[in-house]
Amino acid sequence: MPIARKSQSEIELMQEAGRILAITHHELAKEVKPGMSTRDIDTLGETIIRDYGCIPSFLNYCGYPASICVSVNDEVVHGIPSDKRIIQDGDIVSLDAGVIYKGYHSDAARTLIVGTVSEEAKRLVEVTRQSFFEGIRYARPGYHISDIGRAIQGYVESNGFSVVRDLVGHGVGRRLHEKPDIPNFADRKKGPRIKPGMTLAIEPMVNAGEYDVVWLEDDWTVVTEDGSLSAHYENTILVTNDEPVILSRAEGIEL
């Protein structure tokens, strides 16, 4: 199967999915506080998603047992919400969520700062966010998929952090994960040529220490091997003939 290129009507549905997802992240960011459990965050997120008439795309995806991936501090991605895991002042909390609107997916992640965090944590979160914007500059015709990751990696490493190698971004649309894979590092393969109509989830995962990660016994939670902090930032975007368009955004809400 070739890489899907979306029609105007498909793009409109993905835009609406993305708008609702951006609102979901915004609402969660306002609510996350010390004392809350990671399961509370998931429950709230699922309620918001359903209130907007969407389906949480992660719930039961390959057996994943929640709607929001909540990954705290050294957890990189895919943390499983739990009543026992309580958010503390000083934590960084990565929230990854996906919604389905009329059969179309949007996928986005944000890393929240809770209370007073270290200078390093603040810088990590900001560098991770900015690395997405460095990468998206190459999401346009004339470039290859690997150009995105090369830009992300260059920016992250010039800031003294490292980019996770074992997980990648992806196409998104009819399904949560479509072709192509989008590494956040300079892969040896150039990857496909970027074409208008492609919808991509670009999602740098950045560690304060080394890039190595390990999976916990729950088979989901990915943590840094060296115990260093990790941050995640992701948007669903559309490639056009000129500037790429961020689909997972809503008017008046900061990216």
Nearer to ligand MF3, 171 or 244 (CB): 171
Distance CA(64)–CA(148), nearest Å, equals 28
Q: How far is the CB of 186 from ligand MF3 (least distance, A)?
A: 20
Q: Which does 58 bind (CB under 5 to 8 A by kind): Co ion, ligand MF3, none?
A: ligand MF3
Report 155-194 residues binding ligand MF3 (CB under 6 A).
170
Return the range that interacts with ligand MF3 (CB under 6 A); candidates 11-19, 22-30, 54-62, 135-143. Answer: 54-62
**Size of interface with ligand MF3, in residues (CB under 6 A):** 11
Q: How far is the CB of 242 from ligand MF3 (least distance, A)?
A: 26
Q: Which of 201, 206, 245, 247 binds Co ion (CB under 5 A)?
A: 201
Those residues with Cβ within 8 angstroms of residue 18's Cβ, 6 or more apart along the chain or in another chain = 106, 108, 235, 236, 246, 247, 248, 249, 250
Considering just the CA atoms, what is the radius of gyration of the chain in Å? 17
Return the range that interacts with ligand MF3 (CB under 6 A); candidates 62-70, 112-120, 135-143, 190-198. Answer: 62-70
Q: What are the two backbone dihedrals, phi and then psi, of residue 108, each rounded to the nearest 5 degrees?
A: -155, 150
Structure tokens at 249: 């955004």
Q: Where are the alpha helices (DSSP H) in 32-168?
A: 38-51, 119-136, 145-158
Distance CA(130)–CA(147), nearest Å, equals 16
Distance CA(46)–CA(89), nearest Å, equals 24
Report 79-138 residues binding Co ion (CB under 5 A).
107
Nearer to Co ion, 181 or 226 (CB): 181
By CB under 6 A, is residue 78 in contact with ligand MF3? yes
By CB under 6 A, is residue 133 in contact with ligand MF3? no
